[in-house]
Amino acid sequence: MSAETQKLESSPGTPPFIATAPALEVLAQLGRGLGTRKPIVVLSGEPGTGKSTLAQEAVRRMASRVTARTLAATDARPDTFLATTLARFGGSPRSEASAMALTERLMDALANATVAG
């Protein structure tokens, strides 16, 4: 393994995190960006590119500073994204709610989740 990469231990059933220079830079940027606030970070990309592994490593490294939820690609459809994300953060979406109403409820749920940890 080169000096630019390092394989780190992972949990059973979790792919190992390979600490490449680009991956470490992303983690450093996330760490610097957190500061005293809890921003929302969305990872997207093609299947198999390491998004989940990178996210798991970021949460492992910054556990006390983040509130994390997982949203499967199948849940990220335009017609269900807001309601599904709201539910993941403890909100209760109403099927008849407009996108604006869901967005407002999601913002409240996110604020409560970051306060509660």
Note the helical H segments in the chain: 21-34, 51-61, 81-88, 99-116
Overall pTM > 0.85: no
More confident residue, 8 or 45: 45
Query: At 12, which amino acid appears?
Result: P
Q: Which two tokens stand for residue 91?
A: 């909100």
At residue 6, does pLDDT exceed 50? no
C-alpha span between 41 and 3 (Å, rounded): 29
How does pLDDT run across 18-65, given as a tens digit for each residue? 778 888 887 787 777 666 556 666 777 788 888 888 888 888 877 777
Domain ranges of the chain: 1-68, 72-117
- How many CA atoms within 13 Å lie on the side-chain side of 8? 18
Percent of the chain with pLDDT over 70: 75
> Distance of CA 56 to CAs 18, 31, 41, Å?
12, 14, 13
**Cα dihedral: 112, 84, 14, 113 (round 10):** 0
